Amino acid sequence: MFRSVLGKTLGFVGYTIQYGCIAHCAFEYIGEFVVCSGPSMEPTIVSEDIVFSESVSRHLCKIDKGDIVIAKSPSDPHMNICKRVIGLEGDKVCTSGPSDMFKTHTYVPKGHVWLEGDNLRNSTDSRSYGPIPYALIRGRVCLKLWPPDSFGALSESPTRQIDKTLRNSDSD
């Protein structure tokens, strides 16, 4: 009787460890579901939206400007952040806020990215904590899953589209 109970218990523990390893590998190397919170990515991603973040791009170094990523917060390693990639290593980026009269710029160092929220007036991002190491990126957001009426691929930043329109009209 004791052997039967012990055998079943060890079998259960073995299956639990196997499925735990499979789940870990799936989340680490394939992707994960993420519930976003906070106003920094509005209107693209609103608080409580659920997105799918794929991890393959991170492992293949295929993160590009304009991608939305999930990354570990540089100020709190227990927290994830959701931001848009504005600059890659070697790029010159504007470090001043939207209301600053004088614009300042910096270069993104090797092995780093510059992240900003779409809601520039209400986002704590690289303008506050500087460029973040590429290694802090957890995945690239590729799909909005919830709410159902906004299901699908994510669009380009609405604030960046406005900036492009203004720059193009200024050059005319």
Indicate which CATH number applies to the domain containing 81: 2.10.109.10
Q: Is 7 part of any domain?
A: no
Choose, from 53, 55, 57, 83, the residue flagged as catalytic. 83
Per-residue pLDDT tens for 53-110? Answer: 887 776 666 888 888 898 888 888 888 888 999 989 888 888 776 667 788 888 999 9
Q: Is 117 part of any domain?
A: yes
pTM, two decimals, is: 0.71
Q: Is 143 part of any domain?
A: yes
Quick check: is 144 catalytic? no
Q: Is 25 part of any domain?
A: no
SS3 per-residue string spanning the chain:
CHHHHHHHHHHHHHHHHHHHHHHHHHHHHCEEEEECCCCCCCCCCCCCCEEEEECHHHHCCCCCCCCEEEEECCCCCCCEEEEEEEECCCCEEECCCCCCCCCCEEECCCCEEEEECCCHHHCCCHHHHCCEEHHHEEEEEEEEEECHHHCECCCCCHHHHHHHHHHHHHHC
Per-residue pLDDT tens for 129-138? Answer: 889 999 898 8
Domain count, the chain: 1
Quick check: is 55 catalytic? no
